[in-house]
Amino acid sequence: MCFVHEQGPHNIRPVILSGGSGTRLWPSSRKSLPKQFISFLGTGSLFTHTVERAAAIGGTAAPIVVSSRQHGFLCRQALAEHEQGAHYILEETGRNTAPAIWFAAKASDPNDILLMMPSDHWIEDISGFAETVRRASTICAAGRWVTFGITATEPATGYGYIEVADRNEDVADVVSFTEKPERRVAEQYLASGRHFWNSGIFMVRAGACLESFERHQPALAAAAAACWESRAKRSDEDILLKPDLEAIESISIDYAIMEKEENIALLPFGGGWSDVGSWDSLSRLISDHFADQGEGAVLVNSSNVFVHNSGRTIAGIGLKDLIIVDDDNATLIVRKGETEHVKAVIDQLKSRDETVATEHSFEYRPWGMFENLLDSAACKVKRLTVDPGHHLSLQYHHKRSEHWVVVAGTATVQLGDDRHTLEAGHSIDIPLGAHHALGNDTNDPVVVIEVQMGSYFGEDDIVRVSDPYER
């Protein structure tokens, strides 16, 4: 089974890989809202920029988006804003980029040329990128893999490296892939003149991609095929992969295929690229191309300090060589050059069962969003914002009752067999165990304050009777 095949010469199908959790950019990026969906640069999210790059190529087939089931609706909303159709492969459990690419290849026509793009990168020269893609498509048509090599400008240790046989060739033969090296080795690579940074962007014909998996990863291919056979097709554009995903090895495309494949070409690309993989790299990107510090930052007698905040005033005196990130309910202060240790902070928070490690105080949902205002042993208070025309699932709870107060808009409430219309200032009680649903049938947002009372307030105490979003 493949998606609808749009005909065209060297038919390019963008594959947007959006399954990452972006933990290296904590506290802004967390599992509940990863970095690809955040507007760090003030010009839209990194995912939105990826969609724009795909559209700039022109004449491509509808993209395939591979994402987690949890964040599929965010991908859909971003593409809808650009009036861009797409196909979606949603994973219940992420298994890294190699399985994701196998699924995309399986869903495509064998002659489609897949352009595999991480959704969390930044590229300055979009037209130059599009031209490089078009050049690469003619190479891929013959069954060869192509990767984009980024011209190395410093002995960076945060990137993988690709060695080529002859740097002076417009299309260079790849000799080897190397993961993030030590500083001494990176300096040797830079001096050799034959090493590029690994962009993580690859192109290959879908049929050739599947053949590479059969040669180099037969066990993974077999496990992925079994999962594919049990997929749930929710619509012509939407496939859900739920059963058997955990039986598939979690491995990157670099380890699984690229380090083993012998027939890879490299096209150099020097059009301004960043994988936005750490606060060090993001702070340089923002300082070089956008603004020096966040709105509301006041720095006195300070130098080389980067501030990213979400509205709170940050004041610093006598500071030097620091990155300060204040976002939602957490603040990170780190010396520049040390941001690779952010993971150690997250590990410590997880060891203490601190939800701040993975969750914001707010969360986006297909129907809108909620924000936690108070979370105590006695009660939990949320602010719910329901977008126009959207409804929450019909549900009930085993361990809590709820009280809803409408503070803006006109809400539609189903309680048992009864239906209520509540204007701002009106409220309703939801008894424990009662079937209930909240909706918005108007053209304006509805805001509700929800007070939960009971013995447990976790999101897993939601029993859905029916759900318009098929969760």
The count of C-alpha atoms lying within 13 angstroms of the C-alpha of 424, restricted to the half-sphere facing its C-beta, is 7
CA dist., res. 437 & res. 433, Å (int):
13
Phi, psi (5° rounding) for residue 9?
-70, 135
* pLDDT value of residue 291: 59
Confidence of residue 81 (pLDDT cuts 50, 70, 90): confident
CA dist., res. 322 & res. 29, Å (int):
19
Sheet holding 362-365, edge to edge: 362-365, 368-375, 379-386, 446-454, 400-408, 427-430
Confidence of residue 293 (pLDDT cuts 50, 70, 90): low
- Classified as helix, coil or strand, 87 is strand
Structure tokens of 45?
């999210």
Confidence of residue 237 (pLDDT cuts 50, 70, 90): confident
Q: Is the dihedral of CA 318, 323, 326, 330 positive or negative?
A: negative
pLDDT higher than 70, residue 6: no
Question: What's the N-to-C CA distance of the chain in angstroms?
Answer: 24
pLDDT over 90 percentage in the chain:
81
Total residue count of the chain as it appears in this document: 471
CA dist., res. 28 & res. 11, Å (int):
37
Sheet holding 411-415, edge to edge: 418-422, 411-415, 436-439, 394-396, 463-466
Q: Of 3.10.310.10, 3.30.465.10, 1.10.10.60, 2.60.120.10, which CATH number belongs to 362-466?
A: 2.60.120.10
Give the residue among 243, 353, 337 at the shortest CA–CA distance from 281. 337
Burial of 394 from C-beta contacts in 10 A (0-12 / 13-18 / 19+): middle
CA dist., res. 115 & res. 137, Å (int):
9
* pLDDT value of residue 5: 52
pLDDT in tens, 128-183: 999 999 999 999 998 899 999 999 989 988 899 999 998 777 899 999 999 999 99
Residue range 422-446: mean pLDDT, rounded: 98
Give the residue among 61, 36, 38, 40 at the shortest CA–CA distance from 50. 36
CA dist., res. 189 & res. 99, Å (int):
30
CA dist., res. 412 & res. 96, Å (int):
41
* pLDDT value of residue 211: 98
Structure tokens of 229?
């056979």
Structure tokens of 166?
């002859």
pLDDT in tens, 267-281: 999 889 999 999 999
CA dist., res. 18 & res. 36, Å (int):
7
* pLDDT value of residue 294: 64
Phi, psi (5° rounding) for residue 408?
-155, 140
Structure tokens of 468?
């318009």
* pLDDT value of residue 18: 97
pLDDT in tens, 378-433: 999 999 999 999 999 999 999 999 999 999 999 999 999 999 999 999 999 999 99
* pLDDT value of residue 42: 80
Give me the chain's average pLDDT, please: 93
Q: Find all residues with CB under 8 Å of 211, minimum gap 6, and list them.
A: none
CA dist., res. 255 & res. 252, Å (int):
5
From residue 52, give the alpha-carbon distance in Å to each of 9, 81, 84, 130: 21, 11, 10, 11
Question: What are the residues facing 439 on neighbouring strands?
Answer: 391, 412
- Classified as helix, coil or strand, 203 is strand
pLDDT in tens, 321-377: 999 999 999 999 999 999 999 999 999 999 999 999 999 999 999 999 999 999 999
Q: Is the dihedral of CA 30, 35, 39, 40 positive or negative?
A: positive
Q: What is the DSSP string of 137-179?
A: HHHHTTT-EEEEEEEP-S--SSS-EEEES-TTSSSEEEEEEE-
The class that CATH gives domain 12-274 is: alpha beta
pLDDT higher than 80, residue 121: yes
Residue range 111-137: mean pLDDT, rounded: 96
CA dist., res. 34 & res. 287, Å (int):
22
Burial of 268 from C-beta contacts in 10 A (0-12 / 13-18 / 19+): middle
Question: What are the residues facing 422 on neighbouring strands?
Answer: 411
Confidence of residue 434 (pLDDT cuts 50, 70, 90): very high
* pLDDT value of residue 2: 56
pLDDT over 70 percentage in the chain:
97
CA dist., res. 288 & res. 428, Å (int):
52
Would you kindly state where each structural domain of the chain is located, as residue ranges?
A: 12-274, 279-351, 362-466
* pLDDT value of residue 296: 78
